[in-house]
Amino acid sequence: MVSEDFNNIEWKIGRKVKDQLKRQGATQSLKGRGKDGKVKDEIEKRYGKSKRVWYLRGHIIVPVGYVRTHNALSRDRAINRYTEEGRKKRHENLEMDLRVMLWLMRNPTVGSSVEYADNRIAIYSAQKGKCAVTGTELKIGEIHCHHIKPRSKGGTDNYKNLILITEPVHKLIHATKEETIQSYIEVINPNTKQLIKINELRKEAGLKSIA
């Protein structure tokens, strides 16, 4: 209802605003448009012919009553929280499993900080429920929250220092024994891009790269 609301606001404050503008030297004539007599503004194109528009030191001032609603061009209006169909589409657009999201909310890691728990949920949403390394779907019981810079090296629970990955990937990042590394390589079977990411994370953890 912004169209109606802002009309009411202008009706209540319009005269006071007008008096203030006059005191500051505003004008409704060409004089207020600046030295070249023009205002380089998109608003000029829309409202410049109106007698309710003011000009002050080369700037155009449009009455608050001109505020109107504008429909989002790329938004599907069928997606909403008010109808059963709208809610269903809304959930489909989240591109993640809401059951996993609820599980993360209800099962914070024991002994972790509130920041860690909150960021774990936010990161799950940001990653669209996928592993940050392999892109596979994260499932309940297999989600590991990894500190990019280890706590032992001063890493914090800050949002930018955390990523969500699968358990095998987490084990591989921290593995030191050759046989352990090879066993998880076989499980994950990473491609070149994924292996580069794993090695970057191992380097942050102070471990050597996997050949």
List pLDDT tens digits, range 172-197: 999 999 999 999 999 999 999 999 99
Q: Give the pLDDT of residue 186.
A: 94
Distance (Å, whole) CA 135 – CA 17: 56
Contacts of 18 (CB under 8 A, 6+ apart): none
Higher local confidence (pLDDT), 132 or 17:
132
Q: Give me the amino acid identity at 45.
A: K
The arithmetic mean of pLDDT across residues 113-142, rounded, is 92
Q: Give the pLDDT of residue 152.
A: 92
Q: Give the pLDDT of residue 57.
A: 79
Mean per-residue pLDDT over the chain, rounded: 84
Q: First and final CA of the chain: distance in angstroms?
A: 62
The arithmetic mean of pLDDT across residues 141-148, rounded, is 94
pLDDT bin (cut points 50, 70, 90) of residue 8 is confident
Q: Give the pLDDT of residue 90.
A: 58
What's the token pair of residue 147?
């500190």
The arithmetic mean of pLDDT across residues 197-208, rounded, is 95
Higher local confidence (pLDDT), 16 or 197:
197
Q: Which domains occur in the chain, in start order? A: 2-66 (no CATH), 98-204 (1.10.30)
Percentage with pLDDT > 70 across the chain: 82
Query: Would you say 193 and 163 are in contact if contact means Cβ atoms under 8 Å apart?
Result: no
pLDDT bin (cut points 50, 70, 90) of residue 149 is very high
pLDDT bin (cut points 50, 70, 90) of residue 54 is confident
Higher local confidence (pLDDT), 135 or 76:
135
Q: Match 């990042």 to its residue by tokens.
A: 173
**Count of beta carbons in the 10 Å neighbourhood of residue 206:** 9
pLDDT bin (cut points 50, 70, 90) of residue 55 is confident
Distance (Å, whole) CA 130 – CA 95: 10
